[in-house]
Chains A and B, each alone.
Chain A
């Protein structure tokens, strides 16, 4: 029994790591630019399918390295063409636009790569189990956790120590002042968007190895990412990370005790958090309005 629980907690952590990776990108864009990027799941799917296409040429490792930045480049183009004119306007418009983009992405993915799910090859040695007793500890899962941890650590390091990161953090608090101080806000927003989409692309490649590829892979992951942001706290990236892991584990545990509530449990958590602490676990007070 305890092994089943442990298995599901571990599984939950992995799923939570996906949610967190995706939610961190969403959160970055939301905090600096006030845009809810509904197409984030579409970018995730794109990253996954790009990797799938690249693998025959550059192998799994090459795809893992190349697909996320390619996704980010496409993200920059979309931001430049479509989203940039909407900054500073009613957030309704950017939400509607990215909502429409999500439709287009899903349809295009289906058109290019087909509606059927396709297998995604990861190196064989990664698929072997590391321990007989804990059969679920496959190399790929552990490897994935390491990559996610490295990506999250890298993101936080960039935000904390580089000039770009400092500007993003400052802009999140007061974009007007940052602009007055001579920072090119347009470039800042674009780079920030690019980083967010890079995270989505990376999440896509990793998710494909675990869940397989289908055009709806991104749409299924985006809702929990919203919940992760709300539970973790508006405006706090650390909160988003925590929120993602928490709801992952919660749905993992629900899968043991109440299988039919696997999805619903995270919304119950969200309701509880909003009831007790509307700004979320680590949210800042001033962000509600």
Chain B
């Protein structure tokens, strides 16, 4: 279905860029869910790593003129290093306190991007660069002009990241993460090094979310501090919950619904913030297990 999205999106009133945005946000929400749904640890500051990936990618292209793929790799490396350091600081905390510290740390990078005008463009964002075509040696993929080509480029990166996460979750490491989610104390008694596993899960989750961030920067040919702000962190969490955080593909569905809704609402009313806020309230009150969670219970009954 995703493979042909650019074709049927137009038929139902969407457009290719919207499909790309869904793929990008879907990757971000699925990466967050690696930590939230499969390790049972709530991070409310993932926008920081999303934004670091995005800024890293954008700055690499603007200042060094390197290709789109190396730029994303650089953005991912920067964000992952930041996640390793911050992860080490917060790993001893759990539950609400973990969430609170991730919220607070998320803001650091926002303020840096906001204040450091000379390098990041400050509040106005980083402009004056565009994504570059990808040269395979034998052929060149023109993702600059051709929206569909860029969609498939994003989809390819999405596929690689998602496959990597699936492999990790099915490995013994992934099984111990689920054990931690189900019962941390029991996992500890079974000899699982909890702190290290949670840290590693946090870092992996941030790594993939920063890849999504890099794609996001390329998609817009622009990046501003809002990509780092807590709003986005909250939106990613609600996407995961809305789709169903206990299932692997749930967050993608959540992202599709949320992004499409945001796109529709923001073009139809000025008070889109209230509508989005209402979505949060309704999801929590009536669909706490998400779309896929509901479907699954329905199938059983």
Determine the chain A residues whose CB is within 8 A of the CB of B278 once the complex forms: 100, 104
Interface residue? B241 (CB, 8 A): yes
User: Contact at A275–B107, with CB atoms within 8 Å?
Assistant: no
Interface residue? A7 (CB, 8 A): no
Return A104 CB to nearest CB of chain B, in Å: 4
Determine the chain B residues whose CB is within 8 A of the CB of A226 once the complex forms: 100, 103-104
Contact indicator per residue, chain B 183-201, by CB within 8 Å of chain A (1) or not (0): 0000000000000000000
- Indicate the size class of the contact surface on chain B: 35 or more
Taken together as a complex, chains A and B put the C-alpha atoms of A289 and B96 apart, in Å, by 9
Taken together as a complex, chains A and B put the C-alpha atoms of A97 and B237 apart, in Å, by 11
Return B262 CB to nearest CB of chain A, in Å: 12
Given A107-B274, A108-B274: A100 and B279 within 8 A (CB)? yes
Given A36-B99, A100-B284: A106 and B273 within 8 A (CB)? yes
**Chain B residue nearest in CB terms to A272:** B89
Return A272 CB to nearest CB of chain B, in Å: 9
B window 249-301: CB within 8 A of A: 271, 273-274, 276-281, 283-285, 288
Interface residue? A227 (CB, 8 A): yes
Return B255 CB to nearest CB of chain A, in Å: 15
Contact of A30 among B89, B93, B96, B279 (CB under 8 A): B96
Taken together as a complex, chains A and B put the C-alpha atoms of A226 and B100 apart, in Å, by 7
Determine the chain A residues whose CB is within 8 A of the CB of B44 once the complex forms: 95
Interface residue? A139 (CB, 8 A): no
User: Contact at A288–B92, with CB atoms within 8 Å?
Assistant: yes
Interface residue? B111 (CB, 8 A): yes
Determine the chain A residues whose CB is within 8 A of the CB of B274 once the complex forms: 103-104, 107-108, 111
Contact of A289 among B86, B95, B237 (CB under 8 A): B95
Determine the chain A residues whose CB is within 8 A of the CB of B279 once the complex forms: 100
Contact indicator per residue, chain A 201-230, by CB within 8 Å of chain B (1) or not (0): 000000000000000000000010011011
Most buried by B among A35, A86, A100, A106: A100
Contact of B104 among A102, A234, A267 (CB under 8 A): A267
User: Contact at B107–A91, with CB atoms within 8 Å?
Assistant: no
Interface residue? B71 (CB, 8 A): no
User: Contact at B111–A96, with CB atoms within 8 Å?
Assistant: no
User: Contact at B97–A234, with CB atoms within 8 Å?
Assistant: yes
Given A96-B284, A97-B284, A271-B89: A229 and B100 within 8 A (CB)? yes
Taken together as a complex, chains A and B put the C-alpha atoms of A22 and B100 apart, in Å, by 15
**Chain A residue nearest in CB terms to B106:** A223
Return B283 CB to nearest CB of chain A, in Å: 7
Return A235 CB to nearest CB of chain B, in Å: 9
Given A96-B284, A264-B108, A264-B112: A107 and B277 within 8 A (CB)? yes
User: Contact at A230–B96, with CB atoms within 8 Å?
Assistant: no
Determine the chain A residues whose CB is within 8 A of the CB of B116 once the complex forms: 260
Taken together as a complex, chains A and B put the C-alpha atoms of A144 and B135 apart, in Å, by 63
Determine the chain B residues whose CB is within 8 A of the CB of A104 once the complex forms: 273-274, 277-278, 281
**Chain A residue nearest in CB terms to B94:** A289
User: Contact at A96–B100, with CB atoms within 8 Å?
Assistant: no
Taken together as a complex, chains A and B put the C-alpha atoms of A108 and B271 apart, in Å, by 8
User: Contact at A287–B280, with CB atoms within 8 Å?
Assistant: no
Interface residue? B22 (CB, 8 A): no
12 intermolecular pairs with C-beta atoms under 8 Å apart? A36-B100, A86-B284, A95-B44, A100-B280, A101-B280, A103-B273, A107-B273, A111-B271, A230-B104, A267-B111, A274-B89, A278-B93
Which 3 residue pairs are nearest across A and B when measured between Cβ atoms? A100-B280, A103-B277, A104-B277
| Given A99-B234, A230-B104, A267-B108, 12 new contacts (CB under 8 A) | A82-B281, A85-B285, A99-B238, A100-B276, A100-B284, A101-B277, A223-B230, A263-B115, A271-B105, A274-B90, A287-B97, A289-B94
